[in-house]
Amino acid sequence: MNPNQSPAAKAPIGVFDSGVGGLSVLRELRRAMPGEDYLYLGDQINVPYGPRGLEEVRDLSEAIVRFLMAQQVKLIVIACNTASAAALKPLREAYPDFPFVGLEPALKPAVEHTETRVVGVLATPTTFEGPLYESVVERFAGDVTILKSTCPGLASEIEAGRWNGAEAERILREALEPMLPQGLDTVVLGCTHYPFAFETILKITGPGVRLIDPAPAIALRVQNVLTERGLLNPREADGAVRYLTSGEAAEMALRAEQLLGERGEATALRWQAGELRLAD
Ligand code: DGL
């Protein structure tokens, strides 16, 4: 064993989202670190988080984190922009020694790449509401024009398995068509559900527009944090993924299979007095 390695290296990585959106992050985590075990939690009974507001999403996220910590995860990826906007800061304050990796709309690479100096951001209302989004704009936007849209209903369409359906296309047309004449050449996917509608987005924007999915960069960040802390799992063989959902276990297993191309085992959880518990 590597002398810098912590005994916790063999523990799973916790990943959570309001539903299946975080699977777009899990996909990249597994590509980068196939030897890790993952515990993926989707709060599907409460999806979508987008319209709920910062306070409610913070409470839900904090309870999910308590549940994942009780499962002895070694790091938590908040694979949801909305939950990160609401809870990343308070969670870091509450658990200063525990590693959290959150998501924020990827304006930095967008601003670096745009030639027309017009960038679109698709994210939920709660993500745009938070100080995290404000700070991203302040840090990275510079003189670039940022156009925003909340895509109401899109996360729910994706939850229902209709990621490239007619309703998803209608929502995305409404979001993107007013942006296109303003010369936009880059779109930030600021919600982890949206990469699953990649094809529909490209169909609307045309191939000349670059779509930015932050998931590969997040996977790299997780890998770096684990390496720095001696927490990378040394295993050579592939690790396992276990899915947890506050919704229907069979549905989560099906979506994971459809979206990631492999069947996984899913377990149902229940909310009880503000805490998540294993369902009986
Ligand atoms: N996937 C989430 C995000 O990244 C939330 C979507 C939702 O539940 O509204 O923002």
Kindly report, residue by residue over 199-229, the tens digit of the pLDDT. 999 999 999 999 999 999 999 999 999 999 9
What is the spatial distance between Cα 258 and Cα 193, in angstroms, rounded to a whole number?
Answer: 14
Q: What is the pLDDT of residue 130?
A: 86
pTM of the model: 0.97
Share of the chain above pLDDT 90, in %: 95
- Give 3's pLDDT tier (boundaries 50, 70, 90): low
Q: Decide: 191 in ligand 1 pocket, CB within 6 A.
A: yes
Q: Decide: 47 in ligand 1 pocket, CB within 6 A.
A: yes
What is the spatial distance between Cα 276 and Cα 43, in angstroms, rounded to a whole number?
Answer: 10
What is the spatial distance between Cα 210 and Cα 219, in angstroms, rounded to a whole number?
Answer: 20
Share of the chain above pLDDT 70, in %: 99
- Give 97's pLDDT tier (boundaries 50, 70, 90): very high
Distance 30 CA to ligand 1 centre (A): 20
Distance 129 CA to ligand 1 centre (A): 13
What is the spatial distance between Cα 270 and Cα 207, in angstroms, rounded to a whole number?
Answer: 43
Catalytic residue status for 151: no
Q: Decide: 16 in ligand 1 pocket, CB within 6 A.
A: no
Q: Using the predicted structure, report yes or no on whether residue 90 has a pLDDT greater than 60.
A: yes
- Give 263's pLDDT tier (boundaries 50, 70, 90): confident
Q: What is the mean pLDDT of the chain?
A: 96
Please report, as a single letter, which amino acid is at residue 239. G
**pLDDT tens, residue by residue, 40-58:** 999 999 999 999 999 999 9
Average pLDDT over every residue of 125-145: 96
Q: What is the pLDDT of residue 76?
A: 98
Q: What is the pLDDT of residue 2?
A: 62
Instruction: Using DSSP, state whether 145 is helix, strand or coil.
Output: strand
Q: Decide: 50 in ligand 1 pocket, CB within 6 A.
A: yes
* Ligand 1 pocket mutation, candidates 77, 81, 194, criterion most atoms within 8 A of CB: 81
Average pLDDT over every residue of 172-180: 97
Number of Cβ atoms within 10 Å of the Cβ of 156 = 17
* Ligand 1 pocket mutation, candidates 124, 132, 150, 245, criterion most atoms within 8 A of CB: 124
- Give 128's pLDDT tier (boundaries 50, 70, 90): very high
Exactly one of 47, 191, 219, 259 is catalytic; which is it?
191
Distance 7 CA to ligand 1 centre (A): 33
Residue 280 burial (C-beta neighbours within 10 Å; 0-12, 13-18, 19+)? exposed
Q: Using the predicted structure, report yes or no on whether residue 280 has a pLDDT greater than 80.
A: no
